[in-house]
Amino acid sequence: MESRTDDTTETEANATETDDGGGPLDGLVVIETGTMIAAGQVGRLLADFGATVVKIERPGTGDHLRRFGPQKDGTGLWWKYLARNKRSVTLDLSADAGQAVFEDLTSEADVMIENFRPGTLEKWGLAPSSLLERNPGLVALRISGFGQTGPYADRPGFGTLAESMSGFAYLNGYPDRSPLLPPTGLADGVAAMFSTFAIMFALWHREMHDGGGQVIDTSLIEPIFSLLGPQPLRHQQRDEIEKRSGNRSTSSAPRNVYRTADERYVAISASTQPTAMRVFEAIGRPNLKDDARFETNERRLVNVEELDAIIQDWMDDHTREEVLAIFEETGATVAPIYNVADIADDEHYRAREALVEVDDDTLGTGVVQGVVPKFSETPGSVDHLGPELGVDNDAVYGELLGYETSFREELAEREVI
């Protein structure tokens, strides 16, 4: 655009090098637009490892995530978590001038992330195909409820719908009760993880095989479906539909949640024959190894009611700490059922830096999950929590795009930014 200054090349370099995060993605420029969880989770994962993630929000209102869920004095905690390490700029994509700015932004980017309803970008004249014409190396991620194609593509989509239609809810819960939805954005999170490694696959192709950019189409419904194991194969080969089994497994036993004498809970998983035998040792019943009801996994599954009753009887006489100590001594597999307060107090979580405390202008300090996975040479970091709306307008539009101050002021007056 004519409003650029003459030193954009130098300022672009400065803009991508000034982020504090470092990490393996240092220098990668990502434009994130859209709202709520799935797209935001992708941007968060990339930002954690050093990418410069420019989060586009609507002027005046910002992302719905700012007001979603629990808040502290009007500050959305989901926003503080998912927008960490990002730069916030405001931009009205429905305005012609805003669309021109967006084209400039994506021309300077490696990755563009959006999760609008299919057809929205096209309505604004911002179809990924046209963005790729200006920037042939752009990797454009599109997240939607049901994907960009297919008979359901135009339907509005949320994680709850994906959790319902993917087969997850049907399997989740107890056989004598209704299907159970997860209490948090599971489908969004799973789709975000699939999308993040898809972006890295596309970047590898671009960099290592002299390929150009491309469009990635992620639905919310397919990633969580793909985690359900051999359900389609089981249906096709055995004409079976797996039913809800509560905390039990249809593949191995014992596997369940048990209440201890102090009214707390532990989970046991014995997915292999040796681990099952160690459970029998732990509960003081080594004779069960030779009991015809329990000597093989197949027999344990058939007689799981009796097996669970034996284990629960033993649990009734032991506190959770006693259970954990005995199981650890025998090498049997067990874990306590934790809430978030338990996690915060656990020495292993602390040693792994699974929770980090971050200074924040509005919260004072905020405790969030740390960066995962852990890298030996180029670890990521949490440098700041979700920023105030539009706080990085001057840095991004001035430094990255080289827009003159007068032009930025004009865009602001017209409420384009």
- pLDDT score recorded for residue 81: 97
- pLDDT score recorded for residue 406: 97
Are residue 295 and residue 404 in the same domain, yes or no? Answer: no
Q: Is residue 13 part of a domain?
A: yes
From residue 2, alpha-carbon distances to 37, 93, 375 in Å are 36, 20, 43
Torsion angle of C-alpha atoms 44, 31, 159, 126, degrees rounded to 10: 180
Q: How many domains does the chain have?
A: 2
Determine which one of 188, 217, 308, 392 is catalytic. 188
Are residue 95 and residue 215 in the same domain, yes or no? Answer: yes
Q: Give the whole-angstrom CA distance, residue 351 versus residue 115.
A: 36
Pairing of strands 87-90, 52-57: parallel
Per-residue pLDDT, averaged over 13-35, amounts to 73
Are residue 23 and residue 52 in the same domain, yes or no? Answer: yes
Are residue 402 and residue 307 in the same domain, yes or no? Answer: no
pTM: 0.92
**Structure tokens that stand for 315 in this block:** 């649990």
- pLDDT score recorded for residue 6: 43
Q: Is residue 160 part of a domain?
A: yes
3-state SS of the chain: helix, strand, coil percent to 5?
A: 40, 15, 45
Indicate the average pLDDT of the chain. 94
Are residue 180 and residue 52 in the same domain, yes or no? Answer: yes
Q: Give the whole-angstrom CA distance, residue 163 versus residue 157.
A: 11
Q: Is residue 120 part of a domain?
A: yes
Give the model's confidence band at 32: pLDDT under 50 very low, under 70 low, under 90 confident, else very high.
very high
pLDDT at residue 123 greater than cutoff 80 = yes
pLDDT at residue 56 greater than cutoff 90 = yes
* DSSP class per residue in 94-134: TSHHHHHHHHHHHHT-SEEEE-PPTTHHHHTT--HHHHHHH
Phi and psi based region of residue 34 (left: phi greater than 0; alpha: psi -120 to 50; beta: remaining): left
- pLDDT score recorded for residue 210: 84
pLDDT at residue 8 greater than cutoff 80 = no
Are residue 146 and residue 289 in the same domain, yes or no? Answer: no
- Full domain range(s) for residue 118: 8-226+355-413
Final residue belonging to a domain, choices 283, 311, 337 = 337
pLDDT at residue 41 greater than cutoff 60 = yes
pLDDT at residue 136 greater than cutoff 70 = yes
- pLDDT score recorded for residue 139: 98
- pLDDT score recorded for residue 7: 45
Q: Give the whole-angstrom CA distance, residue 202 versus residue 209.
A: 10
Are residue 287 and residue 387 in the same domain, yes or no? Answer: no
Q: Mean pLDDT check: name the lowest of 17-21, 183-187, 217-221, 248-252.
A: 17-21
Amino acid in the structure at residue 52: T
Are residue 33 and residue 148 in the same domain, yes or no? Answer: yes
110 CB-near residues (< 8 Å, 6+ apart): 28, 29, 30, 137, 138, 139, 203
Q: Is residue 344 part of a domain?
A: no
Are residue 183 and residue 260 in the same domain, yes or no? Answer: no
- pLDDT score recorded for residue 21: 46
Are residue 187 and residue 328 in the same domain, yes or no? Answer: no
Q: Is residue 236 part of a domain?
A: no
- pLDDT score recorded for residue 34: 87
Final residue belonging to a domain, choices 337, 367, 392 = 337
Q: Is residue 33 part of a domain?
A: yes
Q: Is residue 239 part of a domain?
A: no
Give residue-wise pLDDT tens across range 180-201.
999 999 999 999 999 999 999 9
Give residue-wise pLDDT tens across range 57-97.
999 999 999 999 999 999 999 999 999 999 999 999 999 99
pLDDT at residue 141 greater than cutoff 80 = yes
- DSSP 8-state code for residue 397: I
- pLDDT score recorded for residue 4: 55
> CB of 38 within 8 A of CB of 220?
yes
From residue 39, alpha-carbon distances to 44, 46, 55, 63, 82 in Å are 9, 11, 10, 11, 10
Give the model's confidence band at 3: pLDDT under 50 very low, under 70 low, under 90 confident, else very high.
low
- CATH number of the structural domain spanning residue 386: 3.40.50.10540
Final residue belonging to a domain, choices 337, 368, 384 = 337
Find where tokens 């992708």 sit.
42
Share of the chain above pLDDT 70, in %: 95
Are residue 273 and residue 366 in the same domain, yes or no? Answer: no
Are residue 369 and residue 307 in the same domain, yes or no? Answer: no
Q: Is residue 2 part of a domain?
A: no
Give the model's confidence band at 219: pLDDT under 50 very low, under 70 low, under 90 confident, else very high.
very high
Is 188 assigned a catalytic role?
Answer: yes
Share of the chain above pLDDT 90, in %: 94
